[in-house]
Chains A and B, each alone.
Chain A
Amino acid sequence: MKFVLIDKIEMIEPEKRIVTTKNLSMAEEYLADHFPSFPVLPGVLMLEAMTQSAAWLVRLKQNYAHSIVVLKAARNVRYSYFLKPGNTLRCEVDAVSIDETSAKFKGVGYVGDRLAVSARLELMCQNAARNGSPSPGPDQRIVEQLQRTFALIGGPAALRAANG
């Protein structure tokens, strides 16, 4: 599995809000275990989709100053519907605050017009070099990878729409 939980950025309001979608396909191998007779997106991957969506707001605001943006804490994550293959999860994430090394968000995820998940997220930002890597190489590689991903999922178009 590729650990990318966003297929498209539908809308960005820089520093404020992002809307993304993730299609679920039977081709995603982990579904064979979750669950054999009832394949559905694992709830924690809905949380991951919201985390990755929120991370884009951080990266754009900080201009990729930190390569590593991860979930530090999640609160009141409530699940109320399932995402089945062939359907789409739409995440809507609003920023509460985005600071130098931490950021807070509120997010919801919909399958069609059914609310599937809601959560409060706290993300933390750091650089790979902080983990003891001797050179800035990893940060640069990660940022380049992220920029390629951003382009793949319609990020530049969403930004143009926001600014235009």
Chain B
Amino acid sequence: MRWIWIDRILEFEPGKRALTVKNISLAEEHLHDHWDGCPIMPASLMIEGMAQTGGILVGQVCNFEHDVVLAKISKAEFDGVAGPGDQLTYEATLENLADEAASIRGMVRKNGQEFGRIDIIFSHANNSLSGVELPEGFVFTGAFQRMVDPFLEKKDG
């Protein structure tokens, strides 16, 4: 199982807002454990989709030079379940940006309809909030950067 819970960036406004899409497919292994005969997208993985969307939005503000880690999920609420054949979108809006942390407000939609609300606070890992020692530059590998580049080039180009 890869740990990539978004498929594509649909819209990207640097420093403001990001919209991503996640298709749910029966080809995904974990759905057969959750559950056999009744596949349901786990809420924790929908939260991760929003976290990855928000993480890219926050990380891009500093050109992905600083690590961004999940510090707090203030709330995550879902209005039901989603499964294979459904398409989710994650819309993250940057609410606050400080030296040590940033917060996003997130809206999840299932097939275009409001489906969940997720608020997340990220900490900039170099200023880790709980005194944990972390290595430099471990979060943003090429994959997420490549997803964002087309949107940044358009802006400059």
Q: Do chains A and B touch in the complex (CB under 8 A)?
A: yes
Hey, which chain A residues are within 8 Å of B134, CB to CB?
Answer: 38
A73 and B79 CA atoms in complex are apart in Å by 9
A74 and B3 CA atoms in complex are apart in Å by 21
Q: How large is the interface on B (under 10, 10 to 19, 20 to 34, 35 or more residues)?
A: 35 or more
A71 and B77 CA atoms in complex are apart in Å by 9
Q: Are A44 and B51 in contact (CB under 8 A)?
A: yes
A79 and B69 CA atoms in complex are apart in Å by 10
Q: Are B130 and A81 in contact (CB under 8 A)?
A: yes
Hey, which chain B residues are within 8 Å of A141, CB to CB?
Answer: 36-37
A23 and B70 CA atoms in complex are apart in Å by 21
Judge if A97 is at the interface, Cβ distance under 8 Å: no
Given contacts A35-B138, A73-B77, 19 further A-B contacts (CB under 8 A): A1-B1, A2-B30, A3-B33, A32-B3, A37-B138, A44-B45, A67-B38, A68-B38, A68-B40, A68-B81, A70-B40, A73-B75, A74-B43, A74-B76, A80-B129, A81-B132, A137-B37, A138-B37, A142-B36
Min CB–CB distance A114 → chain B (angstroms): 9
Q: Are A67 and B48 in contact (CB under 8 A)?
A: no
Q: Are B47 and A74 in contact (CB under 8 A)?
A: yes
Judge if B97 is at the interface, Cβ distance under 8 Å: no
Q: Can you list 9 contacts pairing A with B, beta carbon distance less than 8 Å?
A: A34-B3, A37-B135, A38-B134, A72-B77, A74-B75, A76-B73, A77-B72, A80-B129, A128-B38
Stretch at the interface among A6-14, A45-53, A57-65, A155-163: A45-53
Hey, which chain B residues are within 8 Å of A67, CB to CB?
Answer: 35, 38
Hey, which chain B residues are within 8 Å of A48, CB to CB?
Answer: 42, 44
Q: Are A33 and B3 in contact (CB under 8 A)?
A: yes
Hey, which chain B residues are within 8 Å of A72, CB to CB?
Answer: 43, 77-78
Chain B contact surface mostly:
loop
Residue pairs across A and B with CB atoms within 8 Å: the count is 123
Q: Are B30 and A3 in contact (CB under 8 A)?
A: yes
Chain A contact surface mostly:
mixed
Q: Are B141 and A36 in contact (CB under 8 A)?
A: yes
Min CB–CB distance B142 → chain A (angstroms): 10
Q: Are A42 and B72 in contact (CB under 8 A)?
A: no
Hey, which chain A residues are within 8 Å of B69, CB to CB?
Answer: 79
A77 and B141 CA atoms in complex are apart in Å by 26
Hey, which chain A residues are within 8 Å of B129, CB to CB?
Answer: 80
Hey, which chain A residues are within 8 Å of B3, CB to CB?
Answer: 30-34, 42
